[in-house]
Amino acid sequence: MEERVPVVVEDVNGLLPLLFGRTRRAIEIRKAWNENRFALVLTPPILDELERVLTYPKVRKNFALDDDDVAQALTILRQNARNFPGLNFTPEELQGALAYAHQRGAKVLLAANTFPPAGATALWKQAIDAGVALGVDAIIVADMGVADYAARTHPGQRLHLSVQAGASSPEAINFHVREFGIARVVLPRILTVAEIKAVHDAIDCEIEAFVFGNIGMMAEGRCSLSNYATGLSTNMDGVCSPAGDVHYDEDAQGNLTTRLGPYVIDCFSCGENAGYPTICKGRYRVAGIADPYYAFEEPVSLNLSGLLPDLMRAGVTALKIEGRQRSRAYVKAVVEAFRTAVDDVLAGRDPALADLLALTEGHRQTQGAFRSKTWR
Ligand code: SF4
């Protein structure tokens, strides 16, 4: 794949004509940017300054901008400048990935499951249109407006309801099925297997369930911790603990402090395994407890390999395995283990369950709320 040339933006004054100028030169540069011939690299302070400058009436008048133009430009820049490097892709890259996957009999689902800010839905609509045009097998949506747009504009497109929609009751799920033609729901991790069975018997779509990966705090993407620390959140920006805000500081003794923005998330003594500074997994000083403590959540991964036959009997037909920010080796090991176990169950054999403990966070695993609501 062709490398994009990074262009570092040091000054908002130079960025304005590029984004909004009407001269031939500005239009040509913008065209090159749209064609991904270079990548803009902006720091959060530059983005903040741009946002401030775009409130000036004189600037708006000079470039003939209205609220929608400004909101859309900021959304595009924030989405592309701040999300995890390597997780974004262009429509051309998606096209190549689709061809690669389809040649190998794999399906590709496009996640458009963040929530557009008020007055700036164009980017989400463009993503839906592009996904449909390129032939993705399903689009995962959470926001009702995005779901409505996709269902009305592209009636034949298969839609899945993201866990971020937080639909856990038959009424909520059937509403999305009825109104938007949802074909599959990803259930929140708050239901026991028995409850999943009850939901399955009362709904008109397929069920996908989490089986392996980060277990978070069950806020299902509606968590605001990352937003509090960095201004970016999972549900609005598609990113928790953005890499650009992560800092690792090592002292002379080899002890490591991890920070997210201005906040210390954890301190690791020399030789201790250091985790990525995710706020919900940090150790903090808490009133009434002497030592720093996991105030939100201890580092532990969900692993439902032991419940797999029960889940399948309960009506789960798709398994959700966390892959974002994970290495290819991790994804291969986990998916292969579950594939083998599923094939065993389908063939009537006792599933051969690989030991995935080494791949869990903090080398600890749990079945979370799937076995019992009293797991904490
Ligand atoms: S801070 Fe934790 S619970 Fe919140 S979005 Fe990030 S991983 Fe999820």
- pLDDT at res. 118: 81
**3-state secondary structure at position 120:** coil
- pLDDT at res. 26: 72
- pLDDT at res. 220: 73
- pLDDT at res. 2: 45
Rg over CA atoms, the chain:
23
Å from CA of 111 to ligand 1 middle: 18
For ligand 1, whether the C-beta of 164 sits within 6 Å is no
Q: Which atom of ligand 1 is nearest to the CA of 216?
A: 3
Domain 91-219+301-371 matching CATH 3.20.20.110: the answer reads yes
- pLDDT at res. 10: 67
What is the Cα–Cα distance from 316 to 302, expressed in whole angstroms?
Answer: 17
For ligand 1, whether the C-beta of 230 sits within 6 Å is no
- pLDDT at res. 82: 38
Q: Which atom of ligand 1 is nearest to the CA of 241?
A: 6
For 154, other C-beta atoms within 10 Å of its C-beta total 16
* Residue among 234, 258, 263 to mutate when testing ligand 1 (max atoms within 8 A of CB): 234
Q: CATH 3.20.20.110 region(s) of the chain?
A: 91-219+301-371
| DSSP-assigned beta bridge partners for residue 38 | 5
Q: Which atom of ligand 1 is nearest to the CA of 214?
A: 7
Å from CA of 307 to ligand 1 middle: 24
Q: pLDDT means per 10 residues in the chain (376 residues)? A: 59 77 72 69 75 81 77 69 56 90 96 86 90 96 97 98 94 98 95 96 97 79 84 78 80 87 89 79 88 85 92 97 78 91 92 78 82 76
Nearest to 33 by CA among 14, 19, 53: 19
Å from CA of 220 to ligand 1 middle: 8
For ligand 1, whether the C-beta of 233 sits within 6 Å is no
Phi, psi of 276 (to 5 degrees): -65, 140
**CB 166 within 8 Å of CB 136:** no
In terms of Cβ atoms closer than 10 Å to its own Cβ (0-12, 13-18, 19+), residue 237 is buried
Ligand 1, atom 3, residue with closest C-alpha: 216
What is the Cα–Cα distance from 366 to 376, expressed in whole angstroms?
Answer: 10
Å from CA of 218 to ligand 1 middle: 9
In terms of Cβ atoms closer than 10 Å to its own Cβ (0-12, 13-18, 19+), residue 235 is buried
Q: Which atom of ligand 1 is nearest to the CA of 278?
A: 1
